[in-house]
Amino acid sequence: MANRKLQSEIDRTLKKVTEGVEAFDEIWNKVYGAQNINQKEKFEADLKKEIKKLQRYRDQIKTWLASNEIKDKRALTEARKTIEQVIWCDTRVKSVITTCQEMERFKVCEKETKTKAYSKEGLAQAAKSDPLEEKKENSREWIRASLSELAEQIEAFEAELETLEQSGKAKGKKSEASDRRALLEQRVARHKGHEL
């Protein structure tokens, strides 16, 4: 009976480990997808809570691994390694790159969120714009370029209008010139309306 109870507890813990790792990845994506600092700090706190849970599960798994009651320890060993890949980096073993990558990723995230806005590092990071600001700046640049193009077209239309007025005095083709003049005046008015 005790063995069955222990096995069901192990199964529950292994399931919680799997869910915890998925939650960690989900929160991790939220940290880097956050639009403002408050959201990022909230998600980082959630990330730390998830790490604490996973560490507790890892400690429980280590206890079970050390126990002689459990015969098949492969699932427990695998779960422990998964947790360590997410939250732990053994700096003495440089060959285990995957273990270090997750912890380094968290360290970078933690450092970014703890950096004060007006510190040297914070001001240096301010130069690196966030994705939302980058999109806004791209939109502003597009608007500037469009306004510049409109201004050039207005100048071209006005120049053509002047040449039509001068050639209209010399030649007698008033119907074609007046149609073209009306079209150009309409375009100039529409372009100026867009500039506003």
Express each pLDDT in 41-98 by its tens digit: 888 888 888 888 888 888 888 888 888 877 778 888 888 888 777 764 333 333 333 4
Alpha-carbon span 22 to 14, nearest angstrom? 13
- Give the percent of the chain with pLDDT over 70: 72
Band of residue 136 on the pLDDT scale cut at 50, 70, 90: confident
pLDDT at residue 96, rounded to an integer: 35
Q: What is the mean pLDDT of residues 89-108?
A: 47
pLDDT at residue 65, rounded to an integer: 84
Alpha-carbon span 2 to 107, nearest angstrom? 41
The count of residues in the chain is 196
121's tokens = 């590092």
3-state helix, strand, coil in the chain (%, to 5): 85, 0, 15
CA distances from 71 to 63, 64, 195 (A): 14, 10, 78
193's tokens = 């309306």
Express each pLDDT in 140-160 by its tens digit: 888 888 888 888 888 888 888
Judge whether 27 and 50 are in contact, CB under 8 Å.
Answer: yes
88's tokens = 């732990």
Alpha-carbon span 79 to 93, nearest angstrom? 20
Band of residue 122 on the pLDDT scale cut at 50, 70, 90: low
Residue 129 or residue 107, greater confidence:
107
